[in-house]
């Protein structure tokens, strides 16, 4: 049996309350609830295609930025822990979806790929850089979420209470 006395397990939880304002704008009150509390005010909007005013980034821009920012944060944080010195870091991402529509019916989407090119300016050996990127991938909450099947549940408030949809 292995010694697990050094393992710490914590829950990370975010809550978000979105409120529709304007044509297509959404104001989002995001709260990190655990392991400590932090609050953020964000907004999304769509451009003219969806009838919005483009007053804020569309949700997909926040999603893509979140993925890239998460990986970059982990690379820089873990470079210190793994003693891999880095001078600079650039990540270029190509995130693709397929969009399908028949006539005037609502369109459907599905992911097609997530490609991330990581350029680390460092004198560290390639093996250390590979280990750093591997650790960052494992520590990036968003990448780990995307790499596994997840249950996403939805409920609709009705006159009789909440129902699963």
For the stretch 2-30, pLDDT in tens is: 566 789 999 999 999 999 998 999 999 99
The reported pLDDT for the residue numbered 2 is: 58
Element (H, E) at 103: none
Count the Cβ atoms, other than its own, within 10 Å of residue 78.
19
Whether residue 1 is predicted with pLDDT greater than 60 in this model: the reply is no
The reported pLDDT for the residue numbered 33 is: 96
The reported pLDDT for the residue numbered 4 is: 64
User: What average pLDDT score do residues 95-121 get?
Assistant: 95
Whether residue 112 is predicted with pLDDT greater than 70 in this model: the reply is yes
Rounded to a whole number of angstroms, the distance between the first and last alpha carbons of the chain is 44
Query: How far apart, in whole angstroms, are the C-alpha atoms of residue 50 and residue 55?
Result: 13
Domain-wise residue ranges, the chain: 1-52, 58-150
Structurally, what CATH architecture does the domain formed by 58-150 represent? 2-Layer Sandwich (3.30)
Read off the pTM. 0.88
The reported pLDDT for the residue numbered 139 is: 97
Confidence of residue 37 (pLDDT cuts 50, 70, 90): very high
What is the full DSSP assignment across 47-89? -GGGT----S--HHHHHHHHHHHHHHHHHHHHHHHTT---SEE
Confidence of residue 49 (pLDDT cuts 50, 70, 90): confident
**How many angstroms separate the Cα of 109 from the Cα of each of 18, 101, 113?**
22, 9, 12
Mean pLDDT score of the chain:
95
Q: What is the pLDDT of residues 55-99, one digit of tens each?
A: 999 999 999 999 999 999 999 999 999 999 999 999 999 999 999
Query: How far apart, in whole angstroms, are the C-alpha atoms of residue 12 and residue 55?
Result: 30
**How many angstroms separate the Cα of 14 from the Cα of each of 29, 50, 64, 98, 141?**
10, 28, 18, 28, 12
Please answer whether residues 79 and 86 qualify as being in contact, where contact means their C-beta atoms are separated by less than 8 angstroms: yes
Whether residue 105 is predicted with pLDDT greater than 70 in this model: the reply is yes
Buried-exposed string 106-144: b where 16+ CB fall within 10 A, e elsewhere = eeeeeeeeeebebebebebeeebbeebbebbbebbeebe
């Amino acid at each position: 049996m292995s010694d697990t006395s050094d393992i710490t397990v914590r829950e990370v939880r975010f809550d978000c309350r979105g409120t529709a304002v304007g044509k297509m704008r959404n104001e989002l009150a995001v709260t990190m609830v655990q392991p400590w509390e932090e609050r953020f005010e964000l907004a999304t909007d769509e451009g003219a295609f969806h009838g919005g005013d483009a007053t804020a980034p569309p949700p997909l821009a926040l999603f893509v930025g979140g993925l890239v920012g998460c990986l970059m944060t982990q690379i820089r944080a873990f470079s210190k822990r793994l003693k891999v010195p880095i001078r600079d870091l650039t990540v270029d991402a190509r995130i693709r979806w397929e969009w399908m529509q028949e006539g005037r019916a609502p369109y459907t989407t599905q992911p097609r790929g997530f490609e991330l090119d990581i350029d680390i300016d460092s004198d560290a050996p390639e093996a250390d850089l590979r280990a750093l990127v591997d650790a960052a991938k494992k520590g990036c909450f968003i990448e780990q979420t995307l790499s596994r099947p997840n249950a996403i549940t939805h409920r609709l408030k009705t006159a009789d209470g909440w129902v699963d949809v």
